[in-house]
Amino acid sequence: MTKFWTLFRELFKQKSKPAYIVFLIQVAVALVTLFITATTTPNFKSAQMFGNKIPWLPAWILMYIVIFLMYSFIADFAYLLLTAWKNEKINCSQTWRLVPMSDGKIYLCNTLSSFCSFIYLVIMQSIVGLIGCLIAYASSNGIRKAIAYALHQEAVVDHWADVNIGDFLVLILFMILLGLFWYVIISFLHFTSRAIVDFLPMMSNKFIVFVIRAIVLIVIVYLVIWAMNMFGEIYSNPWFFKDSSFASSFMPETIELLIFDLIFGAANYALIDKFVEAKQNN
């Protein structure tokens, strides 16, 4: 029998390749954008921050980092789409389903490896941002002065004082559960429609499959809205979360997501174990 982590490593290897490609494309597109901005913007070379003149190289690096991080939203979204598609391909691939492990565990491994590879991409993007900022900070007195000035501004200081580690952790947890929810819900849509299509009499033409997927999607959206309303009523009870901090006010949504992840994840586990066949590929 194959160990869970052995399969996880193999799947992660498969998914980290597109992560590198997306990352490299992002690096290249940000460079091109910087070049276009630099050549088309007047006075680009004489950058200033809070009245402090900044040499052109650190200014370009900072500009590059800003552009690069802005493109992260598009790159991450594209990678989520790409891995969701790859996930479903693997879920129904005979090659992967022949791995000596239960189909439910293969599904879990597949979903977790997709999610971890997404986190890996985000980490790579963050490292580029961090290194760029450090280089810019180290190479320019103007930037150091500007940052020192910004940090001493009362508004900025107050803003940092408001940051709460609990809020930050809840937000991170929410983002993690949201990322998992994306993969779980796509698999649920795929598995339920596949199970229905396989059951119906000779109805495997593309239009019928499309109609069934649309119906399943509508049912899922309806169920999620219904469940959210139900949870909303529970949380509106005065004894629930009296504290008005960000963490407390955001906690209901986080718990909702956790419950959705567990319910749909468990349903996917059962569906793939009992109903969803691997595609024939000889």
Partner 1 sequence: MKDLLTIKDLSYKKNQKLILRDVNLSLKPGKIVALLGENGAGKTTLMRIIAGVAKNYKGSVTLKDTNDVAKRKSFLSFTDGLTGFSESTKIGDVVNFYVNIFNDFDENEFDELRKFMKLDPDMKLSQLSRGIREKLIIALNFARQADLYLLDEPFAGIDPMARKRIINSIILWKSEQSTILISDHFVDQIAALLDEVVVIKNNTVFAHKTADKIREEHKSIEEYYEGLYEGEDE
- Angle (nearest 5°) at CA 152 between 64 and 144: 40
Cβ proximity to partner 1: between 159 and 274 the closer is 274
Contact of 172 with 251, CB cutoff 8 Å:
no
Cβ proximity to partner 1: between 99 and 175 the closer is 99
Could you tell me the smallest distance in angstroms from the CB atom of residue 267 to partner 1? 16
Could you tell me the smallest distance in angstroms from the CB atom of residue 209 to partner 1? 12
Q: Which residue type sits at 93? A: S
- Cα separation, 35 vs 267, in Å, equals 49
Contact of 193 with 276, CB cutoff 8 Å:
no
Could you tell me the smallest distance in angstroms from the CB atom of residue 86 to partner 1? 9
Positions touching partner 1 (CB under 8 A) are: 1-2, 6-7, 9-10, 89-90, 93-103, 105, 198-204, 274-282
Cβ proximity to partner 1: between 14 and 249 the closer is 14
Could you tell me the smallest distance in angstroms from the CB atom of residue 199 to partner 1? 7
Helix or strand (DSSP H, E) at 53:
strand 52-54
Helix or strand (DSSP H, E) at 125:
helix 103-139
Cβ proximity to partner 1: between 21 and 70 the closer is 21
DSSP reduced 3-state for 255: helix
Cβ proximity to partner 1: between 2 and 245 the closer is 2
- Cα separation, 7 vs 112, in Å, equals 11
Could you tell me the smallest distance in angstroms from the CB atom of residue 279 to partner 1? 8
